[in-house]
Structures are given as structure tokens and as C-alpha cells.
Amino acid sequence: MKSQRKHPAASTSSAPPGPIALTARQAARRKVFLLAKVLGVVAVVAGLIFGANALAGWMFPHKTIKTASGREIDDREPKLNPNTPPGKAPEGMVWVPGGEFYMGFDHEEFLDANEIHLVYVDGFWMDRHEVTNEQFAKFIAATGYVTDAEKQPKREDFVREPLYELKPFSIVFEKPSANKPIDLRDFRAWMKLRYGACWKYPEGPSSTITGREKYPVVHVSHNDAVAYCQWAGKRLATEAEWEFAARGGLDRQAFPWGDELKPEGKWMVNVWQGRFPTDNTKEDGFEGAAPVGSFPPNAYGLYDMSGNVWEWCADWYQADYYRNSPERNPKGPDTGFDFREPGSGSRVQRGGSFLCSDVYCVRYVLGTRGQGEVTSGASHVGFRCVKDAK
């Protein structure tokens, strides 16, 4: 049967139909309907976003922790860079890959370190161990450099200490008598001025470094450490680089090897055992400094990042620096301040030393901080160097 429908082109109608006029009631109803439709769409979108967030929060919970300083911070696993060295390691150095880490030590008593914060550092090369007497001797032989401890002191630097004779000196640990009470807040009871003490005569003019070639060099000031690093084509680590390296890729652990001080009863670090400063039981095998590498390295292959001798860092020291420091590659404040010696510039030291125990110093624990005046060394202060990737 033939269709009765006409082709549209064949339509005979002329003008298109005009708009149909709505009554006022119909127009109002239409507006209400449109408004409800928009609100409905908004509600559905908001619901979807809320639902997605709730699902993500359930699947990937966003955790925070409150630190000893009272600050609430994100609590997540820091992201480490891939451990791919950019080339062949310079002699005696290892690659530290860089990445994120939580910097500081979360304890109410460590006011300069307990503003825990997430920091990122780029990768760098680092000396496997503290600079040794043997290495430092090569620097002296090549350059004729004179360390701060060997220089004649200036009277203007010692106006508050009129009894000091003006002769070169350094500060040496001296075990005090056990017969009288010791105030652990006053280090002058065991850190004594010793004339003639310097890197090559660590206990004074009658002492020697012969036989101690692999021991860390001591009695080096910050100036001396910087001079050595420059000669070696290296530099001192920033405080953040140093702490990142010491952690060996572990997240917020107390020591470079983990959270347990003596895993399986074994000492992993050269510190002080017994009653400080009068009784050293030498459970770890060493009364003073140990030859570098006497204890196991951390996961990056770095030795003695905890204990043995303190290590100078590049940064100036300020106790409140962590309250407002950059998140990426922080380099320390512009000036230093040592509360013990106002007017002098103080730089960061890290890692603690053979004089630290669980009741005194305690700064072999990762994330804790030390400091020293830039021209001063001592019998328990040394350093190591780092080098940029390029």
C-alpha cells in the first residue's frame, strides 16, 4: 500500500508557527521547575565529590600526628629518590640519593630539634667516613695550612677570660675526679684548655698521631674543615643533607640502623657507657675516638654517622631555625648565634661523639643538633665532606 505521508519538502504549509504565549502562572511554575533542576544537579555533583573524597579517605587515610613541639603535621611515608648514582663514585665517597625525610627529633626536651618537618634534599656524594689524621696530614703537607688551634690567640677574643695565657691551645676532655660531685650542666668540669693541643698533638705537645693514622682528625675548627674541603674539591654538608644521609633511607628511626640501640646486644656506635664523666666502662671497645669504620655502616655505606666524633656542617646554627625553614634543600639561617658565647658565630655540628651517653649529651640520636663557635675545635670534634653530583 502506498504511503499517505508527504515528504517534508512537499509540505504546503507556509509560515512557521509563532511562540505560544504562557500564562503568568505557567511561567512561574516553569521558573520553579528550572531552579529545582539546577539545584538537583548541584546536589548530585557535590554528593559525587563528597563520596569520592570519603572513598579516597577510606582507601588512603590522611593521617596526622601531633609532635612534641605541639605542631600537627602530616604523617606519611617520605618519598626517596631512586638510588641511581650519576656516575662512578669519587674515591672514598658513596652516593646519597636524596629525597624526602622528616627532619628533627620528636622529644619535648630537645627544643631546637623538635619542630619535626618534612624536607627534601637533592642527591650528593658523601665521604664514607670522618676525615682521618692521614688524610688531613696530606692537606697540610700540600698547602702549609695552619689550623686555628695552632695560631696565636688574640687578646680581644679573650677579654672575658683574663687569666688565660695567650698561647695556642685547644679543648681536651679530661676525666674529672670521681670524689667530688659533678654538675652535668657545666662542661668546664671535664672540657679543659690544653696549651699546644692541636690536630697533630691531640692531647698536647707530648702526644702524637703516629699509630692513629686511621683515627678521625680532631681539634679542627669550622674554618679548618672548610679549608680542607675546598682543597679536596668538596664542601661541608648542609645540616639537612647530613641528617638525610645519616638516616640511611629509614623513616624517623633513632639510629642510622633502626630504633634499637643495641640490636642483639651489640654496640653499633662509639659512645660513652658508664657514669659520665668519671667512669667509662668501654663496653663498645673504645674509651676515646675509634679508628673510622670500626662499627657497621648504614644502608648508604656511611660509617660513624652516630657517635665517634662530632661532625661540622655548613649551616649557621640557630635554635629556632626549624620553625620557618625552606622545605627544599634548606641551607640554614644567614647568621649563627651561640647562647653560651653571645657575639660569636656558631655553626651546626651533628652526630654526637664518644663522650655522649644516655644521660649526658644524648646527641648520637638522629635528628638532634649540636653547635660550635667557628674558630674552635676540641678533642671530640671532626668532620667529613660531600660533593655535588656534577
How big is the site for Ca ion, counted in residues (CB under 5 A)? Answer: 7
Joined together, the cell numbers standing for residue 313 give 656542617
- 100 belongs to the binding site for Ca ion (CB under 5 A): no
Binding mask 334-363 for Ca ion (x = CB under 5 A): -----------------x--x---------
- 173 belongs to the binding site for Ca ion (CB under 5 A): no
Q: Which helix (H) or strand (E) holds 125?
A: strand 124-127
Spatial distance between the Cα atoms of 301 and 92, rounded to a whole number of angstroms: 10
Residues from 35 through 94 that contact Ca ion (CB under 5 A): none
- 243 belongs to the binding site for Ca ion (CB under 5 A): no
3 state DSSP class of 43: helix
> Binder to Ca ion among 147, 270, 325, 357 (CB under 5 A)?
270
Listed in sequence order, the residues at least 6 apart from 290 whose beta carbon sits closer than 8 Å to its beta carbon are 215, 270, 284, 304, 308, 354
- 132 belongs to the binding site for Ca ion (CB under 5 A): no
Q: Which amino acid is at 323?
A: R
Nearest approach in angstroms of CB 352 to Ca ion is: 7
Phi, psi of 373 (to 5 degrees): -70, 140
Do residues 78 and 86 touch, judged by C-beta distance below 8 A?
no
Cis peptide before 277 (omega within 30 of 0): yes
* Exposure of 5 in the CB half-sphere (CA atoms within 13 A): 2
**305, 311, 316, 317: CA torsion to nearest 10:** 70
Nearest approach in angstroms of CB 271 to Ca ion is: 6
Q: Candidates 80-88, 179-187, 239-247, 302-310: pick the segment binding Ca ion (CB under 5 A).
A: 302-310
- 308 belongs to the binding site for Ca ion (CB under 5 A): yes
Q: Which helix (H) or strand (E) holds 227?
A: helix 222-231
> Which one, 115 or 284, has the nearer CB to Ca ion?
284
Nearest approach in angstroms of CB 285 to Ca ion is: 7
> Binder to Ca ion among 150, 239, 304, 315 (CB under 5 A)?
304
Nearest approach in angstroms of CB 306 to Ca ion is: 7
> Which one, 273 or 344, has the nearer CB to Ca ion?
273
Nearest approach in angstroms of CB 304 to Ca ion is: 4
> Which one, 187 or 267, has the nearer CB to Ca ion?
267
Nearest approach in angstroms of CB 87 to Ca ion is: 27
Question: What is the C-alpha radius of gyration for the chain, rounded to an integer number of angstroms?
Answer: 33
**304, 307, 310, 316: CA torsion to nearest 10:** 90
Joined together, the cell numbers standing for residue 147 give 689550623
- 286 belongs to the binding site for Ca ion (CB under 5 A): yes
- 383 belongs to the binding site for Ca ion (CB under 5 A): no
Q: Give me the residues that bind Ca ion (CB under 5 A), please.
A: 270, 284, 286, 304, 308, 351, 354
